[in-house]
Structure 1
């Protein structure tokens, strides 16, 4: 446990432990020996003591703080070792100065006391003997003209260049010889500067300056924020003007081209065409749409001009309130139309047309879709709703909302059922609208040819008209769908698992439609072996062991093979003719 000592150093009292006190005493004794009774020794010692006192005061954390060895070592590191203060006699002093002048060398340090950031530019100014301003200008030139290399060079010099901390380092930085007079001068300048600041300090003025500085900082920050807001407001104003004017122009084009097919598809085109779903005239619906959408964008355009030019004159309250009233009326009418339109599609009804296909299950049924080259150029022309004219210039609604469903039936022959559905404000009205759907199909022998579209008069409006084709197939029916079927087949179950990769043959087997010649890796409901143990009726070998077994049921791979069907493979039967093994 070390003892503590109370000392008076440079007019300040310190609590210092015994080891630190002994080291500090030896330090001052060494300085006195270095000065060797030269003129001004006492003054220099006094100045050095005051400087040490200041450095120790900065390290005081509280009134009870005890100065330790670490604090003394840090102070000595700043002040320099006693050898820095050693002087020779007058002749040696002059000779040392002359030798130093002959060397003409300076050491590069960072002058952080007089610098703004890291003291790099100020230190370079001392080293090259020029004003630090020119060094800073060079750094700025390299920042803008050298693609930021000035910033990189500054930070590199900041890292590698030491800071001038001790008195001797500061003298070496400016090129002054390290002599007693220079040390004394430097120490006195630092002490006088600090004393002058405290002596002449006007604390009221300092308080006002601090307050004024804080206000300036706050004002500068608020100005910066306001500048950012102004720039953002200008940018937002340009965006609003471009968006507003563009939308208004396109709305005008849309209103004047209602009911016509123009070469550009506008984003609101379906909204305009929605007028054809109502009982109101098309032009009135377009006008309502223009007011409901155009007026808000008109005000957004005005807001954009106001952000760009705050002194822009207003359009006047009368104009504002008039446009607002028109907008409210347009919205109210559109809401009422929407409510009325909801009642127009509140009921759903359909009509059914059934047609039997006069073919046997052993006949292959070919199914395909065809398109009308008058309304489309290929099957890929798909529209759920489109206005067209026929050859007699009658206005019609054209739609490809046609769907095929394949189902099982217990009847002996296949049949087709066409369901035409529509919506209305009552079941009767919906059924009448469904009856006006024009849809055609053909049956040529074992070929079923279906239209991929339907038509209805434009007077019927679009009320969710659809056509569903239900193809019912009996047990064992062979089916060959055309590739066109893949775009219109729709089913919620897996009774018919259509292979979209090619044109294949199918057969109804039990609760599934099986693919007969699909690839082995096809993920279908074909549960036969890859060696095609189950073939068409016309593809069997004339093997004496390939018998026809009647009224026999066996299971192959867990699946039942039903009575009376020829099976390719070598059969092993018992004495009653029942199959017990298939090789």
Structure 2
């Protein structure tokens, strides 16, 4: 029976035999005496105590709960003794320190010992005799000659010891195998959104689970492996904040892989500029990898055994400022080059600093001056007539009447304070000293935040004035124009603060009075207020000087007390059919070729006489030679043969592109895309059939080369027909109220399959709100006679045919897409770009709005109002004789009336 003593090592209670306690106390007293001369020696001794506690914990088991003398000797053998590495003079100093500690009774007083029940005597061993080597040489030789076997390392396991066993077998940190298993397991969810990698991610996740379970079952267990922390060859990944620059990640990786830290940093920088993935990796490692806080952590980071000798060497190097030796060719080269280039880099840096300062000062001063002048004009301090600011077609007073003074001050402060900060920053760069004190900077910041709040409040208040749009029609009759031939003249009123008036021509019945119809529009809080603003804020003049001359202004202006409410004015001139008309040169210059018959303006139009037919002027005495000379006709005929004719895929789904040149030298691009015409009978497709059970969807999105047939019905029904292998690649699902039709990617090589057979998807639904087509998709929609707002989006070489009756029909088109419309719509809105085509002659629209660009073409039938914005060789052809036409047509584009 032996006496036991309870000790506390870094918060862990151990029961130790009395003879072992004496050896341990003397050992720790010698350690404390040796490291007492180092800075932060308390932390060093605490770190050593923690390491001793780890070794003691590894010696305990359910059947062994007492630390014996043999366990203490084993610990001393692993940790080493101070006498093994200290010099003679240091040993004498430590002996003196230790003797004084013994004399004062503190050599064993580091721990509080309590004697447990029982009797016994101490062994009385001297410390020097307790450090014998307990390793049997024969046993060590046998262990070294033992062949490597793949086992489950139960001594270092986290779950089943599989990753620890793999790490032990390949002499690699088990952390990497654990990360590999977890990464493969998470590959499925991570790659789920990437269609062509979706199936690969699922296979990797399954492989991770199956491989781990198979290794768990197949590999034998092993409990007697050395703990990872005790293995001298074990390296643990830490962040080396002592030699690191930012978070110590690069320095820690360099220590772990025993390479140059500069190489790791260069790799991170290269990854940062090659897509930015290195930044995410760095942040993740910064969060997950622990910091090397103690000397033991720094030893483990480099793969060194945690012994007293290693701790002493590491501390000496830190005290002397030495750098851990290693192979650093890249770092040495870069450091030498940096020292040689330091003067040149400093000079270049000075130039950049001064240039940046000058740029910031000049920019800040210019913007600050502009903001100040604008504020002065807004507050009435500076006269707007001096032309300090230019507000385009709107006079400055239009804005100053609309914005209150406090809002102007808030907007000025919100914009001027950052500009002032830019100016002061540039000045500070030039002078190499800060201009503003901390208190002044914080005061400006607070003032700026206050101004942002005020500007936001002003913006909300101003936006209320633009919520609703109102339009009013004013008709001005001219019964005094009784002459058989009327001269149409133009008065140029262009000046700052005047806005251009769109002029349209239309015919009136014979015997009626010539009329000028003005369509005035504006915005306001309510529609009534918007109508009132449009009626009272716009000034426009049309007057008859005698019985044969009508003069129209080409610009309109605003009343002096008017406020800006996005006012606009369109003018339609209604000309009786029984009169003849002549044009002044200024009025003729105001008209486009679309205002003349055959869309051709005759030479010297001011010398001709015209009659009105539809919405175009017809020259009465003109011949073909008045429009183009014989040479020009020959050139046109030759030019017809200079076009480019390209046919892509001569099949039924092919695209035909043709370019030609008009009489003005403009290149016309005609792109013929086949319409959405395909068999709707399932018997025209393969033998495969699919039926899907989906309900409560109101929108459809189709991606890929599918044919989609949509019909109205009282119930939901989704069916598909085609070849079986094509239907296996068809994926139909719902997301909320949206039905998704797309190609199911089953692997990487599925993207490289050959041409597939056509697949028909038939959808029956009570109502539809939106249809979205992407890629080479075709759709046929019919039967929806009471649709309210139907939105259609087409992207790519897709085609759609819609036969619907809708309150509002909106088309958003991009790419070489084609749309055919039939039915009726109150409002038709088309936004197209990139050679899209719209055939809406079969749909009767009350109003139509076309915004086309990029060689797009459209045909429409409009009853009342037509508005077009055309650019990039686009064209709109219209029928139906609308009473109001508003157009913004750039060079190369055209608006053409269709005669029926």
TM-score category of the 2 structures, normalised to the smaller one: 0.3 to 0.5
The structure whose RCO (Cα within 8 Å, separation 6+) is larger is 1
> What TM-score do the two structures reach when normalised by structure 2?
0.29
Bigger strand fraction: 2
> What TM-score do the two structures reach when normalised by structure 1?
0.43
Structure number with bigger Rg: 1
